[in-house]
Each structure stands twice: as C-alpha cells, then as structure tokens.
Amino acid sequence: MKRELKSQIIDSLTQQITESNYIYFTDISTLNVESTNRLRRLCFNRNVKLKVVKNSLLKKAIEKSGKDFSQLMGVLTGPTSIMIADVGNIPAKLIVDFQKNFKLTYPVLKAAYIDETCFVGNDQLNVLVNLKSKNELIGDVVNLLQSPIKNVISSLQSSGQKLSGILKTMSEK
C-alpha cells in the first residue's frame, strides 16, 4: 500500500473517530462471506458504519484523534473491525441479535468506547445493550417530571367530583 493511500485512510479514520462518541472494536474474522454480508446489511439498516482496518493504521488514527484510548490499545491485536454509530447501544444490540439469530459466537466484542468510557471484553455486551441513549434518558426525565403534575391534576379532578356530589346531595335534602 502506498504511503499516500495510507495517509488518506488514517485521515479518514481520524475524522470518524473524532466525530463519534460511540466506537466498538470487534473481531469478525471467522465469519464466512455470507455471514459477513448479512452483518454488513444489518449494520447499514441500523445506521452503523462497519469497517475492517489494519491495527497499525487504526493506532495512528487514534493517536491523531486526541481522545484517550489508552485502555483499549491492548485489544488492537489480530483482526479488528470497527463499528461507529450515532447511538451508544445500537452496535451492542446488533451484535447480540446477530449472534442469536444466526446461532454464531461472532462477531466478538473486543472493546467499546462510549462517551469517554472504555468497556473491554465480550462479557461487557450485556452492560452495553442496557445502556440508555440520550433520547431515552431525556424521555425518562420528562416522565419523572410529569408524574407529580399528573397526580395533582387527577386529585383535583376527583376532589371536584366528590365535592359536587356532596353539594348535590345536601341540596336535595
């Protein structure tokens, strides 16, 4: 590979790593062509970018990105592919669904970088699947804020009905 092409690949990877807060490092090396194509199609449908990269180029891109990947440098051995997404738990759900639907043990999660937090090892998949996205967290906060207001309104409505019932009964007597 020519130096110019390597430089272009490194710059492209650096830009993607810099712009994303959700990066998964996986191993898909044991998948056959059919399974790899299924995984790529699934990634495309869920808006996840899947790239197979050389570790040496990836390490250079990581160094240029300015983010702290020091805990993840140890996993950059052997075949590595990266998944870049806009939502933190989508790649984890994708991996779990793929493994379950096709009864495979691959792809294997090597590590994940989620909002400056590092998760290392395939055993972290369950933790990553249960992470809530920013929109889900905002929805939870809104629901928590609405709950007391709903209680007050329903109390006022039921109290008003009781009061009108009592007044009606007293006026009839």
Residue 96 has what pLDDT? 93
Amino acid 58: pLDDT: 93
pLDDT tens for the chain, residues 1 to 173: 789 999 999 999 999 999 999 999 999 988 999 999 999 999 999 999 999 999 999 999 999 998 888 898 899 999 999 999 998 899 999 999 998 988 888 899 999 999 888 999 999 999 999 988 778 888 888 888 877 777 767 766 666 666 666 667 777 76
- pTM summary value: 0.79
* Greatest Cα-to-Cα distance within the chain, rounded to the nearest angstrom: 100
- Measured between alpha carbons, how far is 80 from 13 in angstroms, rounded to an integer? 13
* Structure confidence at residue 103 (pLDDT): 84
Per DSSP, the residues of 68-101 read --TTTGGG--SSEEEEE-SSTTHHHHHHHHHHHH
Q: Across the chain, where does the E strand assignment appear? A: 22-27, 49-53, 80-84, 108-114, 117-120
| Separation in Å, CA 34 to CA 19, 67, 93, 164 | 31, 35, 20, 71
pLDDT of residue 80: 93
Location of structure tokens 């492209």 = 12
Beta bridge partners of 13: none
